[in-house]
């Protein structure tokens, strides 16, 4: 079962943390972590719960992510990778859902959200968007 898990603040690392599960290309469950930065100025996204594809997103990118999940339409937002600099996070429409696509030089991670996973992603992104209102 997919659910959004919310963690209380750990001020040296994050002010709030959300976790949501999707599926990778092999249909295995994969967790993505969304951290509200301690200074409340950005969201740090850790797909696969590791830092290989991590991105820092600014608050103005979050509404586009919410819209993509609600409309099931492709969108691309810019973020900052700690080692590779400016990168993009793509949301692509798939049958009955949305995929997140994270890329770094020579590698790509695709996570699909459908059904309950899509609803959890929608709820989580809406809550994150509301943190910046």
* pLDDT tens per residue across span 96-127: 999 999 999 999 999 999 999 999 999 999 99
Q: Does the pLDDT value for residue 2 go beyond 60?
A: no
Count of domains forming the chain: 1
CATH number of the domain residue 104 falls in: 2.30.31
Which stretches does DSSP call E strand in the chain? 5-7, 16-23, 29-36, 43-47, 55-57, 75-81, 85-94, 97-104, 107-114
- 36: pLDDT strictly greater than 60: yes
- pLDDT score recorded for residue 8: 56
| % of the chain surpassing 70 pLDDT | 91
The structure's pTM equals: 0.88
Range of the domain at 36: 5-131
pLDDT tens digits for 66-105?
999 999 999 999 999 999 999 999 999 999 999 999 999 9
């Amino acid at each position: 079962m997919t659910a959004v898990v919310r963690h209380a603040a750990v001020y040296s690392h994050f002010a709030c943390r959300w976790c949501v599960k999707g599926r990778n290309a092999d249909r295995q469950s994969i967790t993505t972590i969304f951290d509200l930065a301690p200074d409340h100025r950005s969201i740090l996204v850790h797909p696969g719960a590791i830092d290989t594809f991590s991105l820092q997103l600014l608050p103005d990118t979050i509404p586009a992510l919410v819209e993509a999940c609600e409309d099931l339409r492709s969108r691309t937002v810019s973020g900052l990778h700690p080692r590779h600099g400016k990168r993009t996070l793509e949301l692509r429409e798939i049958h009955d859902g949305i995929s997140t696509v994270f890329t770094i030089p020579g590698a790509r991670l695709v996570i699909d959200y459908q059904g309950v996973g899509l609803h959890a992603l929608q709820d989580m992104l809406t809550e994150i968007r509301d943190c910046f209102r």
